[in-house]
Structures are given as structure tokens and as C-alpha cells.
Amino acid sequence: DGGITQSPKYLFRKEGQNVTLSCEQNLNHDAMYWYRQDPGQGLRLIYYSQIVNDFQKGDIAEGYSVSREKKESFPLTVTSAQKNPTAFYLCASSIGLTFEQFFGPGTRLTVL
Amino acid sequence: GENVEQHPSTLSVQEGDSAVIKCTYSDSASNYFPWYKQELGKRPQLIIDIRSNVGEKKDQRIAVTLNKTAKHFSLHITETQPEDSAVYFCAATSNYQLIWGAGTKLIIKP
């Protein structure tokens, strides 16, 4: 299951805290994505990035922030402005925006 | 905005029978249609995809058909096996993003 990794696997956050989820890929992919998945639901796009130093908001970007300083890395920060952050977060990468997306194993975030 | 509708939300079939999941998309410019399988607690994984210049694609027990005129595409699984039990997601490109269906939970009855 190499190629794209996420850490940590489980994360607990107190209300009012910011937390950062890590996503790294060694596939030399240009495009990277962050999705949120709630129980029994589909995937909702938070942010995506086509190239280094560039990223775009997805459907549910409010309360989240990202950076893309390196091709391999696309960290997601869940800020205190995100009122209901408990969810499963999936990172993905692809060689381009209309090609197969490869997913990381996910981070399960719980707000205490 | 653009959307993808997926039906049914749950599908229960007898082991050995076929399963069909259907998706309808709204963006006539969509040109890439992947299908992903997600087992409980795991990451989604691509099982088959099709591009708009092709009407059908098959890989062993799995096939996808695309009807561009009607803007719908379907996943067909033949000779279902217990390991096919999972949630299946369809998606379609729109404005250089993938728009995802809500998922179909496939249950294989022994």
C-alpha cells in the first residue's frame, strides 16, 4: 500500500483547536485532493491542487486550509471555524485532474 | 452545480447472480467516468473506468457501459462473489474535478 500515505490514522481534537492532517505521495503526481467522508455518505471535495503553490476550493472548503509547498506533500488544517469536523478524511493524488485518483488510507478525526 | 445521481443506494443479490448499478450525470462535457470500490473502513480503489470515446469496457467479471446521449453509465458485475460486498461509487468529470455519486452498498447473500 505504498505510494500515498496519511498520518495520523486516528486523531482526536478538542473544540477550539486547529489540527493538521498529513498527506504525502511518492508517485510523482501533479494533482492532489482532500475529501471528507461522513458515515454512510459519499466523498465531498474540500480542496484540490493541480501544481505546487496552487490550490482551489472544493465544495466544502469553509473551515479548512491547505498548502502545497512541495509536490509530494499536501497537508490539510482543520481550523476551529469548522463546526462539525468529526469525519473520515481521505487524501488522493493523480497524474492529472481527469485521471485515476489513488487514495491514502485515511485519517479518522474525532472532536471530543 | 453539476451532480451525479447513483441508484440504488442499497443492492442485495444472491451469490452468483449479476448486479447492476446506474449513474446519471448532468454535465454534457464530462469525459471520464471511474468506478471505485470501498470496503468498510478502507480507502476507495478504482475497479474500472471509461472515457467518453468508448461505449463499453470489460475487465473479467466487471463491465461499464456509457450512454452519452442519455448521460448515464452503469456498472455490471457478473457471477457475484462474497468479496464483491462493498460500497461502490461512480464519478464523472466536471470542470476538471470529479463529481461523485452517493454510493451503492452491495450485499451478496450466500
> How many CB pairs below 8 A link A and B?
41
Per-residue pLDDT of A10-67, as tens digits, reads 999 888 899 999 999 999 999 999 999 998 888 999 999 999 999 999 999 999 999 9
> Cell triple for residue A69?
509547498
Res A97: pLDDT: 77
In this structure, what DSSP letter does residue A68 have?
Answer: -
| Beta carbons of A100 and B46 less than 8 Å apart | yes
- Signed CA dihedral, B30, B70, B99, B27: sign only: positive
Left if phi > 0, otherwise alpha if psi is -120 to 50, otherwise beta: which for B68? alpha
- Collapse the DSSP code of A7 into the 3-class scheme (helix H, G, I; strand E, B; otherwise coil) and give the result: strand
With bands split at pLDDT 50, 70 and 90, how would you rate the model's confidence at B59?
very high
For residues B94 and B92, give the distance between their C-alpha atoms in angstroms, rounded to a whole number: 7
Lowest model confidence (mean pLDDT) among B32-41, B75-84, B94-103: B94-103
Write out chain A residues lying below 8 Å of B92, CB-based. Answer: none
Distance from CA of B17 to the nearest CA of A (A): 25
Residue of A nearest to B94 (CA): A98
Of residues A42, A98, A106, nearest to B93 (C-beta): A98
Strand ranges for A1-101 from DSSP E = 4-7, 10-13, 19-25, 31-37, 43-51, 54-57, 64-66, 76-78, 87-94
pLDDT at B54 over 90: no
Gap between the Cα atoms of A8 and A22, Å rounded: 7
Whether the per-residue pLDDT at B66 is higher than 90: the answer is yes
Name the DSSP class of B83: G
Contacting residues for B104 by C-beta, under 8 A, at least 6 apart = B6, B7, B8, B9, B10, B11, B21, B87, B88, B89
Q: Which residues pair with B90 in a beta bridge?
A: B35
Dihedral-angle region of residue A45 (phi above 0 means left; psi in -120 to 50 means alpha; beta otherwise) = beta
The pLDDT, as a whole number, for residue B60 is 96
pLDDT at A1 over 70: no
pLDDT over 90 (residue B1): no
CB distance from A103 to chain B under 8 Å?
Answer: yes
Residue with the three cell numbers 505521495: A25
- Helix (H), strand (E) at residue A62: none
